[in-house]
């Protein structure tokens, strides 16, 4: 029997929290105060949570280096996306449209692709995207995301072991612990799950705090 002690188990990395669909400086600051790691500002014209570049710029300026500000975009050219980053000073882009792997690669390291997942082919598409990070969301016909619908978490558990996976889709303070246990993601992304009832553009800050606490306790 060896007298050497086994190496200590590597501690599990802390799961990050991103609150997406933030529409005001006040909500962004409150989310930062609640302990989130990133906030998302949505610039997709079809989104209920859309803001314009001036709001994104104000949020990025106010938060500074406190948390990462991510701009959600869809189907812009690479040139337009680069110009948007220059204009707003956001820290990262989340590409939620039909962008190609080449588009993502051109914007690295400050961009990642969002892929809507309903089956193994979608998981393969997510894995094929370049970069360290990739986001997966529920695949709902006719929607780019933000539907409040969950996905089959088991589909992406393997992917989460190989990539820094951002898990989105129907997360809430009530189910995020189970999602983390099932997937082991790098980050969890919530929008509708922390909104005021009937008000998709307003965050319920008590729910934001409850979400952060549920993640930290998972």
Question: What residues pair up with 71 in beta bridges, in sequence order?
Answer: 41, 93
Q: Is the peptide bond before 166 cis (omega within 30 degrees of 0)?
A: no
Which of these, 43, 37, 47, 44, lies nearest to 56 by C-alpha position? Answer: 43
Nearest Cα residue to 59 out of 73, 77, 39, 83: 39
Say if strands 38-42 and 16-19 run parallel, antiparallel, or are unpaired.
Answer: parallel
- Determine the Cα–Cα distance for residues 81 and 192; give it in Å rounded to an integer: 25
Gap between the Cα atoms of 93 and 66, Å rounded: 17
Active-site pick, 103, 122, 137, 189: 137
Question: Is 137 considered catalytic here?
Answer: yes
Q: Which of 42, 33, 102, 28 lies closest to 74 in space, CA to CA? A: 42
State the catalytic residue, choosing from 20, 27, 37, 189: 20
Strands of the chain, DSSP E: 16-19, 38-42, 68-73, 92-95, 111-117, 133-138, 164-167, 187-190, 195-196, 199-203
How far, in Å, are 31, 141, 146, 171 from residue 149 at the CA level? 22, 12, 8, 8
Mind telling me the catalytic residues?
Answer: 20, 137
């Amino acid at each position: 029997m060896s007298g050497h002690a086994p190496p200590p188990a590597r501690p599990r990395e802390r799961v990050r929290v991103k609150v997406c669909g933030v529409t005001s400086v006040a909500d962004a600051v409150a989310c930062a105060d609640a302990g989130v790691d990133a906030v998302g500002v949505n610039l997709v014209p079809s989104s209920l949570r859309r803001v314009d570049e001036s709001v994104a710029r104000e949020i990025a300026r106010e938060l500074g280096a406190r948390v990462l500000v991510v701009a959600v975009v869809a189907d812009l050219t690479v040139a337009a996306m680069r110009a948007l980053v220059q204009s707003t000073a956001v820290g990262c882009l989340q590409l939620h449209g039909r962008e190609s792997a080449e588009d993502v690669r051109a914007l690295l390291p400050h961009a990642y692709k969002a892929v809507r997942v309903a089956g193994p082919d979608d998981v393969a598409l997510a894995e094929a995207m370049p970069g360290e990070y990739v986001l997966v969301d529920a695949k709902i016909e006719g929607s780019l995301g933000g539907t409040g619908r969950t996905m089959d978490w088991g589909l992406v558990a393997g992917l989460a072991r190989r990539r820094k996976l951002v898990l989105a889709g129907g997360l809430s303070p009530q189910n995020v612990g189970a999602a983390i246990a099932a997937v082991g993601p790098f980050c969890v992304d919530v929008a509708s799950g922390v909104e005021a009832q009937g008000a998709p553009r307003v965050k319920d800050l008590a729910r934001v705090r409850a979400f952060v606490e549920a993640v930290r306790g998972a």
